DNA sequence: CTTGATTTCTACAACGTTGTAAGCAACGTT
DNA sequence: AACGTTGCTTACAACGTTGTAGAAATCAAG
């Protein structure tokens, strides 16, 4: 049932290497030899054994994408784009789910890394530059917040600027008590820190006070936490008139809590998110958000990785900014 | 930087095979030999070359999960569970995105199948039993609707019964003009056919007429299509007082369209979905739905596949039903 | 025809691993 | 002292592929 080059070679009456040459599109093969070999390949339904090829070539043709959680829509959408972009370059993508913990991420970074894949696109939450330091030269591209990422290429949007812009948008609507949901004090919370910094910067730009009481923490950025945080903000003596959530799932949870509290969005409280996930286009109301260009991020990451794998592995790390824009919808603008 | 068994062997002063034995946990190795070898492994940061191991063993330790689209939340959630269940058995999961087209699915089924993976968990949309017929014995487990799946194991819930139950729930609320969204006339639409059959059966059970005009098609079951279908149903001479959407994303689109039309859910129109995705717990209103036990489905699929890989490949195909239940929320019950 | 260049093909060795078979100690039993 | 048994280790060959080097066939030009 399973055939090898040798079987094809015997059937076509040529050497094993000639079959290999045909399979790999080597030019100097006589047309009728090629035809005979191709016929034999078809008859036997031959397919190359990738393990053997990889062993010989030192390449696997597989790259991995490691993300914290697949059922966070942002990562699922990103994964789709990475798979598409990689396929165009002939790579298969192995998707790995780290869970987001530091230890798990370290295991992925050091373990998967070896021999099974040619390179890794990594979107870490918890990992620090130090954790990545000891790895032996597997090409790797980092996604996400701009932190200190050591010798690795990086693709990401300017989190501070984006957060600043969308906060400025809320201020521009005349809102003055703007809450933030999603702050994190842990070392994992690099994104949170940057987005909070943008939020603070926008306040400073407008001459508004930064009110610590309006900043609600959320350890994991899920819908449930957004709802909980929103409820606690609503119990403040003076309730906020807008809220900037550090991602869209938090914002969807906040919308839910506002609905339960009988408040109108955006009339009573305007809501903005971050990530531009599909859900936000169909929520009630639709969600204003920062829209990173995911397709572009995926493409850049794959290309950077391809360059590392095929090219100079010792070149200095590159830092590619990805574009984003504000997607303003009902949750701040009204119907 | 990259070391082989041989390097470790030289450093520890033993043979290559002894190192291999240590790595693989073979029992008959003297404690101090083992210690020397382990020390050498640690010093060199040795990791086995999986391609070579696979070539030798004929196993790769990788299974694939092929789903139509990763950013359909149902599949993302399913993927997470499959990854978790597979990890417990020591397998890595390669996630493949087929796009759902018949030709693409055929490529995945026949291509990926060879040599790179030990087995495949496949959730096909378009593929027919005929397409799967010619494959050479790679262990495969099918997920999804119960159709004719040839010689392959299958895990899935009873779509007809589930659709019948949730439709009966709508009828039980006193609704009499119950629309359906998501019918498909194409051969791909196996799920659609089964869910429509359940919808029709519930009507028959209750002595209600089946009204063709209340059945709206949706080729791809995305939010946008749910919204479009809902709008067209609302333009009927007598508008429906309930709608059963064949999955949750359609239902979320329908909720959106109802909101835009100024109708109240469930007061004016009750809405039910299918899949129990996370979004439905936080939508406004929260979504009543059929909740398949995804964790169980994933676990059963992985176990079936493991049995095929390690065990008898010629055993008759098994058909495992997965549990489900109704998750009744605001969109049919009110706040 | 001879020569040299080019095209076409082949034999061989390697990639890093593990199964097999067999060797060598060390031990207890007769 | 000879024997088998058991524990531990090793040499060798294979898994299926491709790079290298070179042989054989073909061709162009003198």
Give the pair of three-digit tokens for residue B141: 């487990």
The residue-averaged pLDDT of A300-305 equals 94
In sequence order, the β-bridge partners of residue A95 are A65
Q: How far is B204 from chain A (nearest CA, A)?
A: 34
Residues in chain B within 8 Å Cβ distance of A60: 51
The residue-averaged pLDDT of A277-292 equals 93
Q: How far is A80 from chain B (nearest CA, A)?
A: 6
In sequence order, the β-bridge partners of residue A97 are A67
Q: What is the pLDDT of residue A110?
A: 66
Residue A134 has pLDDT above 80, yes or no: no
Residue keyed to tokens 């689109």 = B253
HSE-up of B104 (CA within 13 Å, CB side)?
17
Q: Which residues contact B312 (CB under 8 A, 6 or more apart)?
A: none
Collapsing DSSP states into helix, strand and coil, what is residue B119?
strand
Whether B201 and B182 have beta carbons less than 8 Å apart is answered as no
pLDDT in tens, A143-161: 987 566 678 899 999 999 9
> Are B48 and A73 inside 8 Å of each other by CB?
no
How far is residue B187's CA from residue B147's CA, in Å, rounded to a whole number? 11
Residues in chain B within 8 Å Cβ distance of A259: 284
Residues facing strand D, Cβ within 7 A: A 2, 4-6, 16-17, 20, 23-24, 46, 48-49, 52-53, 55-57; B 14-18, 21, 26-30, 33-34, 52, 55-56, 58
Confidence of residue A103 (pLDDT cuts 50, 70, 90): confident
pLDDT in tens, B267-305: 999 999 999 998 899 888 999 999 999 999 999 999 999
Q: What is the pLDDT of residue A111?
A: 60
Residues in chain B within 8 Å Cβ distance of A115: 47-51
Whether B269 and B295 have beta carbons less than 8 Å apart is answered as no
Q: What is the pLDDT of residue B27?
A: 85
In sequence order, the β-bridge partners of residue B64 are B94, B120
- Bond before B285 cis per omega within 30 degrees: yes
How far is residue B300's CA from residue B313's CA, in Å, rounded to a whole number? 17
pLDDT in tens, A222-237: 899 999 999 999 999 9
Distance A282 CA to C1 C1' (A): 84
The residue-averaged pLDDT of A185-209 equals 90
Q: What is the pLDDT of residue A150?
A: 72
The residue-averaged pLDDT of A169-177 equals 96
Beta-sheet strand order (sheet of A92-97): A92-97, A62-67, A119-122, A140-143, A153-156, A319-321
What is the H or E stretch that residue B10 is in? helix B5-12
pLDDT in tens, A246-269: 999 999 999 999 999 999 989 999
Q: What is the pLDDT of residue B92?
A: 83
Question: Out of B52, B94, B97, whose CB is closest to A94?
Answer: B94
Residue A137 has pLDDT above 70, yes or no: no
Q: Which nucleotides of C are covered by protein (CB under 7 A)?
A: 7-12, 14-20
Residue keyed to tokens 């008898």 = B312
The residue-averaged pLDDT of A201-215 equals 95
> Are B76 and A77 inside 8 Å of each other by CB?
no
Q: Where are the alpha helices (DSSP H) in chain A?
A: 5-12, 16-23, 31-44, 50-57, 73-88, 102-107, 129-133, 159-172, 190-205, 223-234, 248-260, 294-310, 330-333
Helices (H) and strands (E) in chain B, counts: 13, 12
Model confidence, pTM: 0.85
The residue-averaged pLDDT of A59-85 equals 88
**Is the backbone of residue B300 left (phi > 0), alpha (psi -120 to 50) or beta?**
alpha
Helices (H) and strands (E) in chain A, counts: 13, 12
Question: Out of A49, A83, A281, whose CB is closest to B97?
Answer: A83
The tens-digit pLDDT sequence of chain B (335 residues) is 578 999 999 999 999 999 999 999 888 888 999 999 999 999 998 888 888 988 898 888 888 898 888 878 899 999 999 988 998 888 888 888 887 777 777 776 665 556 678 888 988 876 666 666 656 667 889 998 756 667 889 999 999 999 999 999 999 999 999 999 999 987 767 889 999 999 999 999 999 999 999 999 998 888 999 999 999 999 999 999 999 999 999 999 999 999 999 999 899 999 999 999 988 998 889 999 999 999 999 999 999 999 888 777 778 889 999 999 999 999 999 88
Which nucleotide C1' is nearest A34 CA?
C8
């Amino acid at each position: 049932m399973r055939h090898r080059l040798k079987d094809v070679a015997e059937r076509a009456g040529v050497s094993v290497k000639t079959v290999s040459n045909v399979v790999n599109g080597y030019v100097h093969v006589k047309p009728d030899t090629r035809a005979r070999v191709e016929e034999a390949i078809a008859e036997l339904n031959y397919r190359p054994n990738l393990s053997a090829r990889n062993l010989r070539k030192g390449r696997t043709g597989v790259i991995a994408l490691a993300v914290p959680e697949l059922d966070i829509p942002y990562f699922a959408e990103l994964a789709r784009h990475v798979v598409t972009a990689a396929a165009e370059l002939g790579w298969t993508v192995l998707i790995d789910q780290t869970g987001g913990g530091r230890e798990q991420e370290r295991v992925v970074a050091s373990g998967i890394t070896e021999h099974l894949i040619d390179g890794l696109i990594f979107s870490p939450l918890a990992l620090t530059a130090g954790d990545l330091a000891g790895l032996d030269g597997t090409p790797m591209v980092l996604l996400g917040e701009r932190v200190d990422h050591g010798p690795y290429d990086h693709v990401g949007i300017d989190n501070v600027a984006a957060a600043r812009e969308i906060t400025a948008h809320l201020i521009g609507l005349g809102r003055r008590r703007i809450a933030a949901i999603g702050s994190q004090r842990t070392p994992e919370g690099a994104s949170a820190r940057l987005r909070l910094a943008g939020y603070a910067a926008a306040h400073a730009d407008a001459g508004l006070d930064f009110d610590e009481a309006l900043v609600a923490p959320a350890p994991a950025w899920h819908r449930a936490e957004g709802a909980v945080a929103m409820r606690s903000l609503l119990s403040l003596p003076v309730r906020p008139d807008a809220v900037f959530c550090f991602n869209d799932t938090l914002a969807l949870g906040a919308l839910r809590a506002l609905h339960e509290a009988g408040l109108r969005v955006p009339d009573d409280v305007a809501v903005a998110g971050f990530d531009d996930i599909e859900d936000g286009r169909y929520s009630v109301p639709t969600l204003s958000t920062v829209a990173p260009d995911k397709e572009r991020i995926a493409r850049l990451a794959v290309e950077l990785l391809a360059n590392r794998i095929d090219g100079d592995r010792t070149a200095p790390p590159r830092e590619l900014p990805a574009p984003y824009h504000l997607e303003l919808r009902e949750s701040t603008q009204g119907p």
